[in-house]
Structures are given as C-alpha cells and as structure tokens.
C-alpha cells in the first residue's frame, strides 16, 4: 500500500470507524457514473511489458476483483492527473 498523507489517514480512519453514510440511491448514482464512463472516447493502444510485470499485474488485479485492463486504465489516469508520480 502506498504511503498515506495525514489527510488520507484521517479519511481512512473515518471510513473504518463507519462514520460515512450514503446520501441517497447508490444504485442510481452508480448507473449515472457508469453512463459518464461509457460516453468517454477511448483509444486502443499497444504496449510491450515484461511477462513478469504482466503476471504480477494480473495477480494483483485478481486480488482486487478487477480486470487487469481496468487496473492499467486506472494507473494511467492517476498518472495523467498527477495523482501518482514516477521517479526515475
């Protein structure tokens, strides 16, 4: 798990203490958000990565219950929106 800053730690603690309550129809909100996602334009790309990295990626995705392609999309989005940094 990545290191959390103080704000993220507070939010995680709050969630774990059941301090969060849903506001409204969760099913309706999920469908609304899925609609936004389905309307986004997507472009297919090809990349080459090592077999070991792909194996580990698929393993972690399976543990999370997500398709590995979605994990790749999430990682790319987080990098593109400066939510994660790459150190060289």
pTM of the model as a whole: 0.54
C-beta separation of 79 from 71 below 8 A: no
What gap in Å lies between CA 35 and CA 84, rounded to an integer?
A: 26
Residues of the chain with pLDDT under 70: 1-2
* Pick from 24, 29, 4: nearest CA to 15: 4
Per-residue pLDDT, 43: 85
Per-residue pLDDT, 1: 58
List the domain boundaries for the chain.
Answer: 51-88
Q: What is the DSSP letter of 10?
A: H
């Amino acid at each position: 798990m990545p290191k959390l800053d103080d704000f993220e730690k507070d939010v995680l603690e709050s969630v774990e203490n059941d301090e969060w309550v849903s506001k409204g129809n969760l099913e309706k909100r999920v469908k609304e958000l899925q609609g936004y996602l389905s309307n986004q334009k997507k472009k297919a790309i090809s990349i080459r990565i090592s077999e070991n990295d792909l194996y580990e990626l698929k393993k972690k995705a399976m543990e999370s219950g997500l398709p590995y392609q979605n994990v790749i999309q999430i990682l790319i989005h987080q990098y593109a929106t400066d939510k994660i940094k790459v150190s060289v």
